[in-house]
Amino acid sequence: MNKNTKIYIAGHRGMVGSAIWRKLEAEGYTNLLGKTSRELDLRDQKAVMDFFETEKPEVVIDAAARVGGILANNDYPYQFLMENLQIQNNLIDASHKNNVQKFIFLGSSCIYPKLAPQPLKEEYLLTESLEPTNEWYAIAKITGVKACEAIRKQFGKDYVSLMPTNLYGTHDNFDLETSHVLPAMIRKFHEAKLNNHAPVELWGSGSPMREFLFVDDMADAVCFALEKKLPENLYNIGTGVDLTIKELADLIQKTVGHTGEIIWDNSKPDGTPRKLMNVDRMQKSGWKANTGLKNGIEKTYHWFLENEGKLKKVKLK
């Protein structure tokens, strides 16, 4: 690995991919490659293979995915399963067939069983059933993890999977229909504040516990994995600290400056009761997160305010 190594970042315009791009540029990497979805449809197997044969990347970082929260996962199960399988399978297979020796696959903590012991360890994968509200996305990501593990086992290539906890940060998706809980809360509290501090309605009971990782920390973990040859195939990426959704709502409400009422809709699903990552494996390798949740939320809200007028609504078909 050197600063001129040709590195293809799939999904370089997304929240995670753009953070990785900024991090690698800051570290002095000069040969970064990215394609928009219009330039390269990652669901198209032939197009992906042609791209690899032409560009010949030496390293691939897969930060491309169809993502969303509980509502989006429930409403569009086929897209979350099929499109994620198509994207990652095309990238992994093209990388292997074009002799890419290092591949970093990014997934999610939702790959672990709904009722697995807490905090979640890497070895809990495939030990019990998944959370029904996001199993479509989880099954696709599990397939990606196992494909990288198979290549690592059979061909000895440095294909590694990093499973982040709930990510948030600048360049996030703030659309209320398709976003995750933290950016959705930021938008809800902000719009309610502008509407004379109107009440804010939130899903569920507020009792589930969640862990959140600032996206720049995730980019730092990817850079760490890029520059090391990690001994295992699967690593959790997180802070090792969680809080209840109610505590999260209170923190975001204070950050935004909303003073109205919070109404919890108990008829809506809570999702998994708790999802805390065991991050011992990554920490023993030499990496840990640095951004506290309060600081990360402040940075995210500041970015939201600067870019609110440019944010697009995300629609699935």
Residue 284 marked in a binding site: no
Residue 167 marked in a binding site: yes
Active site residue 137: yes
At residue 256, the 3 state secondary structure works out as helix
Range list of β-strands (E), 24-70: 32-33, 59-62
At residue 200, the 3 state secondary structure works out as strand
Residue 207 marked in a binding site: no
5 neighbors 59 (Cβ within 8 angstroms): yes
CA–CA distance, 48 with 14 (Å, rounded to integer): 18
CA–CA distance, 148 with 140 (Å, rounded to integer): 13
Residue 141 marked in a binding site: yes
At residue 141, the 3 state secondary structure works out as helix
Residue 107 marked in a binding site: yes
Tell me which of 76, 112, 137, 301 is the catalytic residue. 137
Report CA 11 to chain centroid distance, whole Å: 11
* Alpha-carbon distance values, 197 to 194, 257, 258, 259, 292 (Å): 6, 9, 6, 6, 27
Residue 208 marked in a binding site: no
Residue 106 marked in a binding site: yes
At residue 181, the 3 state secondary structure works out as helix
Residue 13 marked in a binding site: yes
236 neighbors 282 (Cβ within 8 angstroms): yes
Residue 164 marked in a binding site: yes
250 neighbors 212 (Cβ within 8 angstroms): no
DSSP-assigned beta bridge partners for residue 202? 264
276 neighbors 118 (Cβ within 8 angstroms): yes
Residue 14 marked in a binding site: yes
Residue 178 marked in a binding site: no
Q: At what angle do helices 293-307 and 181-194 cross, to 10 degrees?
A: 60
Here the tokens at position 207 are: 């009792």
Residue 287 marked in a binding site: no
Residue 97 marked in a binding site: no
DSSP secondary structure letter of residue 232: S
279 neighbors 288 (Cβ within 8 angstroms): yes
Residue 18 marked in a binding site: no
Residue ranges at the known binding site for substrate: 188, 203, 210, 270
Residue ranges at the known binding site for NADP(+): 11-17, 106-109, 141, 164-167, 180
Residue ranges at the known binding site: 11-17, 106-109, 141, 164-167, 180, 188, 203, 210, 270
**Residues assigned a catalytic role:** 137
